[in-house]
Amino acid sequence: MKKFVATLLAVAMVLSMSACGSSSNDVLADGVLTVGTNAEFPPFEFIGDDGQPDGFDIALIKAVGEKLGVKVEVSNMEFASLVTSIGSKIDVAIAGMTVTEERKQAVEFSNPYYDAVQYVILPKDSAIKTADDLVGKTIGVQLGTTGDFIAQDIQDSTVSAYNKAVDAVNDLINGRVDVVIIDKNPALVFESKYSDSVVAVDGAQYGFEVEQYAIAMPKGNTELVEKVNKAIEELKADGTFDQLVEKYI
Query: Which parts of this chain interact with ligand GLN (CB under 6 A)?
Result: 38, 41, 79, 95-98, 142, 145-146, 183, 211
In terms of CB distance, is 56 or 70 closer to ligand GLN? 56
- Min dist. Cβ of residue 5 to ligand GLN (A): 50
Degrees (nearest 5) of the Cα angle 243, 244, 249? 115
Residue number with CB closer to ligand GLN (27 or 82): 82
- Looking only at the bridges linking them, the beta strands covering 32-37 and 92-93 are parallel
Q: What HEC string does 147-189 produce?
A: HHHHHHHCCCCEEEEECCHHHHHHHHHCCCCCEEEEEHHHHHH
Q: Which of 154, 146, 151, 144 is closest to 172 using CA atoms? A: 151
Instruction: Find the shortest distance in angstroms from Cβ 173 to ligand GLN.
Output: 19
| Min CB(91)–ligand GLN separation in Å | 18
* Nearest CB to ligand GLN, comparing residues 70 and 108: 108
Q: Toward ligand GLN, which CB reaches closer, 70 or 189? A: 189
Q: Which residues pair with 179 in a beta bridge?
A: 139
Nearer to ligand GLN, 110 or 142 (CB): 142
Secondary structure of 197-219 in the HEC alphabet?
Answer: CEEEEEHHHHCCCCEEECCEEEC
To the nearest whole angstrom, how small is the minimum distance from the Cβ of residue 22 to ligand GLN?
A: 31
Smallest distance from the beta carbon of 82 to ligand GLN, in angstroms?
8
Q: For residue 41, how many other CB atoms are within 10 A of its CB?
A: 26
